[in-house]
Amino acid sequence: MLNENDSNLKAHLKTLHRSLADTDEVDEELQMLLRQLDGDIKQVLERRADADLDANTYGLGSRTQELSARFTARHPNVATTLRELGNILSSMGI
């Protein structure tokens, strides 16, 4: 069963995907990093249900904030969504 943070996180992931779909010219490196982050977040959500988190799951909030900083100038909408996502992950201790 999803808790409120998990639901909020999933909603922000959907918003991020919509923002990316509406954004032109996202370079290949950032696309790869975002896909990787998305996969890692989905894994964390699955593992949380099993209480099977390990040391590799932590730091996703920080990684999200770093990606946000890289998007700020050229893609402010994506950067805002990434910042919000990072805040949610950090508040969840991830």
CA angle 67, 69, 72 (to 5 degrees): 110
The parent domain of residue 70 ranges over 4-91
More confident call, 80 vs 2: 80
What's this model's pTM, rounded to 2 decimal places? 0.70
Identify the pLDDT of residue 51: 60
Strands of the chain (E only): list them. none
* Number of independent structural domains in the chain: 1
Could you report the per-residue pLDDT of 17-67, keeping only the tens digit for each?
A: 887 777 777 778 778 888 888 888 888 777 766 665 554 555 788 888 888
Structure tokens at 62: 């920080």
Give the pLDDT band (50/70/90) at residue 1: very low
Identify the pLDDT of residue 2: 54
